[in-house]
Structure 1
Amino acid sequence: MGTHNSIDERFEFSGKVKTWSLIAIVIGILGIVYGFLIDKSEAGIQRTFSSLLLMSYYFACVTMAGVFFCAYQYMAQAGWSASILRVPHALAKVLPIAGLILIVVATAGLLTNHEIVEGGKTETAPYLYAHWAAHGLTTPGSENYDPIIAGKSGFLNIPTFFVFMVVVLGLYSWFGSLLVKYSNNEDELGGMFNYNKSFKMSAIFLVIFGFTFPIFAFDAVMSLDAHWFSTMFGWYNLAAMHVSGLAVIALIVIVLRKQGYMQWVREDHLHNLGQLIFGFSIFWTYVWFSQFFLIWYANMPEETIYFYKRWEPEYKFWFWINLVLNFLSPLLLLMSRDAKRLTSRLAFTCVVILIGHWLDYYLMIMPGTVGEHRALGVQEITITIGFVGLFVFLTFRALAGFKSLIPKKHPFIEESLHHHI
């Protein structure tokens, strides 16, 4: 593809990227079919539900990171990022679909029951969120009664779970659609009116997001281990969500430049993205270590059980690899100024980080849902491939829907086009 220099250029979604994304989606569908209809064992179905939750949660987090990125760029009145905003805008356009998929997966896993044998007795429990949604856990006098879960039942109950998830994902999607709408209107009308509206909505969104995202993480992931709790878990997830989203944004920009688009993006813009990725990888590590160290030092059984599970033989290796991928890799690969300006190195680091945070979510979800789990199976691999294909297809299709790949009447667009550091 030839070089595009006009700020009126549109992205055309076609060719090998589109074909391979569709192939990946088919592989994912076959993996789901295999997990539910071919491998009919309880363990196989459990792994399928757990893998679907992992990828739908990851998918939703990466897309909401696009809204988050746009919002704090508007609030900071940042000029450098104006020329790349179409990429996070595309993520914002995909968020409603990602949120809907997460709700469907959580609903199916929560309302589909199976029998498990625990402590010599047979119990009926859902495939997901069984630690708090199983029958009789909050009913006094029941043989399954659990006073700890009963004490948390004001929050951990099915109606609250669904209402909160639907409202939060709906709000995030709505704010994302507003920012996209205002940007499109700005291209048509010019002036400061729509930019000022974007600024105002971003301020409101960031307040709501800051208060609700940690609770969203409690709801969707931490409640899988309902006896355990950590006040740092929400911020730990926020750091993972943000750095994963930054890696995706940088990777998409690099891919588009390689295809001949967005030639106004220079190494200075990539440097800024590299700085954010490096900085928030360090922040992720800070929260990871703080959560781990405080629980290890306190040595309280109700807290250490979370890490005890993740130190079992099948998880311990991955537990430490998680730290290598998400801390040591960006630290060593992006520490210098020149490293952040090397396109190939930044792209490689982004891929490592995305794999690393897949493993991060894997370690959050699998030990709390899957019983005996010895290795990566067909479900984990194929469903991951399928969601990657779905993400690429929807995001690139969203990009193709914009009239231009740059918000050409953004008030800071000239600053971005002449950005130099």
Structure 2
Amino acid sequence: MTEKFDFSAAVKKPLIGVAIAGILFLIIGFAMGIMGGGHHDAHADHAPKVEQTAGHDAHGAHADASHGDEHAAGGHHEEFSWTKRVKASLWHNAVFFLGIAAAGILFFAVQYAAQAGWSAPVQRIPLAMGNWLPIGAILLVIISVVANHDLFHWTHEYLYVKGTPEYDPILDGKKVFLNFPFFVVRMVLYVALWIVMFFQLKKNALAEDANGGDQYWFKGRKLSAIYIIIFAVTGVTASWDWLMSIDPHWFSTLYGWYVIASWWVTGLAFICMSVVLLKENGYLKEVNSNHIHDLGKYVFAFSVFWCYLWFSQFLLIYYANIPEETIYYVQRLQSGPYKPLFFINIAINFIFPFFFLMTRDAKRHGLFLKIACPAVIAGHWLDFYLMVAPGILKGNGGLTFIDLGFFLVFGVAFIWVFLTNLAKHPLVAPNHPMMEEAKHHHI
């Protein structure tokens, strides 16, 4: 008999409870924003200052200027409003959860492309994650169109008027690529490619369920290889557009891979946690402690890989000490709202999973993974917060009820779509040619 997941009322009730908590947090956050007036100088508190080194004064001045929402001269002074926090949080969560969905499809594709047998019983979990892609893509496009001036400093037209105090020659030099119409075209192209490839992979997998035969497995391998190549390119360029351009003068050649690593390890943690919870509730009968061990190793290994990229990017910028590069870290290390979060980020995303999941037993038992995986997911949500908030909110950042509320609401919506689609089809692919090998998987 084909195993199917039942998205029952017992599963829905706690999700609804979390969603209500998220909405209450948002109401509290909105009320605090409205009552607090919400308007004050964005540079008045916690504005980081760059200590310029000899020979780099001019570059440092440009770098410092790039992190304002306005050029003070010329009458384009913008005050901070609590609604800007709302837009920043919406963008943060939209990018974060869309990337997790894309990472789920990447895991599915990697298993097919690598001809992996061990993962056959869990392949429907990452595939179901991809159903968030169309919803997440629509949200991303809408938010970017509605909030573009608040999210991206480079969208202000006055920056490109030569001969005015606000003219920014650096951004003018990037205008061929960094202009809003082309930005939207690229965004639509990226998400359209991901969605098309997801539906092709899903269609092939369901055809395999219905008809059997190795031809679907071989076709899945080809489609998977194509998706991996597409995502490797567009995932990097999307990170430049959606995240790095928030700080438009700053750049890092490692940034794209760093962002993909953060998406990837979050997706792995979500897959691992889902498998553990499904197994504990009587599903995934073909899954044993060896499969769970492999998923735990994925989370452990790529937490280390993420830290390798994090440290590599930080170290190269730190010892070069070029102001237009160091401004990114100055803003996160010398600004009150972000400095504690900067160190919590590395602690929760590397130090904790490294030591907590180091032993063999920790990676094989659900108790450990039910602690580690949610911590990794929350930790990388914080990682994305540090990519987004400092460039948009400046010294007015710091986690608020608005941020936590959107995290819970987006999280419940993502899980709801995931579980709804998981329940529509067989939980374990009945005709996967590697299933017999997976039943005897042992490490």
Q: Percent identity?
A: 40
Q: 2:288 matched to which residue of 1?
A: 266
1:377 aligns with 2:403: no
Q: Which one of 204, 211, 227 corresponds to residue 189 of structure 1?
A: 211
Counterpart AA for 2:251: F
Return the offset for 1:31. Answer: 5.4
Change (3 A) 1:139 1:398: same
Change (3 A) 1:294 1:153: same
Three-state SS of the structure 2 residue aligned to 1:370 is helix
Q: Which moved more, 1:95-104 or 1:273-282?
A: 95-104
Q: 1:97 matched to which residue of 2?
A: 135
Change (3 A) 1:321 1:32: closer
Return the offset for 1:372. Answer: 3.1
Return the offset for 1:375. Answer: 3.6
Partner Cα distance (1:375, 1:196) in 2:
49
1:19 aligns with 2:13: yes
Counterpart AA for 2:7: F
Q: 1:341 matched to which residue of 2?
A: 364
Partner Cα distance (1:189, 1:369) in 2:
51
Give the unaligned 5+ runs of structure 2: 39-79
Return the offset for 1:376. Answer: 2.1
Return the offset for 1:56. Answer: 0.8
Counterpart AA for 2:12: K
Return the offset for 1:395. Answer: 0.6
Q: 2:244 matched to which residue of 1?
A: 222
Q: 1:83 matched to which residue of 2?
A: 121
Partner Cα distance (2:20, 2:189) in 1:
31
Q: 1:290 matched to which residue of 2?
A: 312
Return the offset for 1:27. Answer: 4.7
Q: Cα deviation per residue 1:284-337 (whole Å; 9 max; x = unaligned)?
A: 011000000000001001000000000122211111111111111111011122
Partner Cα distance (2:303, 2:171) in 1:
34
Whether the aligned pair in 2 keeps the contact of 1:24 and 1:388 (CA below 8 Å) is no
Alignment of 1:35-50 (within 5 A): 39-40=33-34, 41=38, 42-50=80-88
Return the offset for 1:263. Answer: 2.2
Q: Which moved more, 1:206-215 or 1:9-18?
A: 9-18
Q: Which moved more, 1:11-20 or 1:275-284?
A: 11-20
Alignment of 1:384-403 (within 5 A): 384-402=407-425
Q: 1:354 matched to which residue of 2?
A: 377
Return the offset for 1:100. Answer: 1.6
Return the offset for 1:85. Answer: 0.6
Alignment of 1:154-169 (within 5 A): 154-169=176-191
Partner Cα distance (1:38, 1:327) in 2:
34
**TM-score (norm: length of structure 1):** 0.91
Counterpart AA for 2:18: A
Alignment RMSD, CA only?
1.7
Whether the aligned pair in 1 keeps the contact of 2:197 and 2:227 (CA below 8 Å) is yes
Three-state SS of the structure 1 residue aligned to 2:157 is coil
1:59 aligns with 2:53: no
**TM-score (norm: length of structure 2):** 0.86
Three-state SS of the structure 2 residue aligned to 1:107 is helix
Partner Cα distance (2:374, 2:440) in 1:
28
Return the offset for 1:385. Answer: 1.1
Three-state SS of the structure 1 residue aligned to 2:130 is helix
Whether the aligned pair in 1 keeps the contact of 2:337 and 2:395 (CA below 8 Å) is no
Partner Cα distance (2:264, 2:33) in 1:
35
Partner Cα distance (1:275, 1:38) in 2:
43
1:180 aligns with 2:218: no
Whether the aligned pair in 2 keeps the contact of 1:24 and 1:390 (CA below 8 Å) is no
Q: Which one of 332, 336, 343 corresponds to residue 320 of structure 1?
A: 343
Q: 1:3 matched to which residue of 2?
A: none
Q: Cα deviation per residue 1:254-276 (whole Å; 9 max; x = unaligned)?
A: 11112211122111001111111
Return the offset for 1:33. Answer: 6.3
Q: 1:106 matched to which residue of 2?
A: 144
Whether the aligned pair in 2 keeps the contact of 1:136 and 1:145 (CA below 8 Å) is yes
Return the offset for 1:206. Answer: 1.2
Whether the aligned pair in 2 keeps the contact of 1:136 and 1:143 (CA below 8 Å) is no
Whether the aligned pair in 2 keeps the contact of 1:186 and 1:195 (CA below 8 Å) is yes
Return the offset for 1:207. Answer: 1.3
Return the offset for 1:246. Answer: 0.2
Partner Cα distance (1:324, 1:397) in 2:
34
Whether the aligned pair in 1 keeps the contact of 2:30 and 2:402 (CA below 8 Å) is no
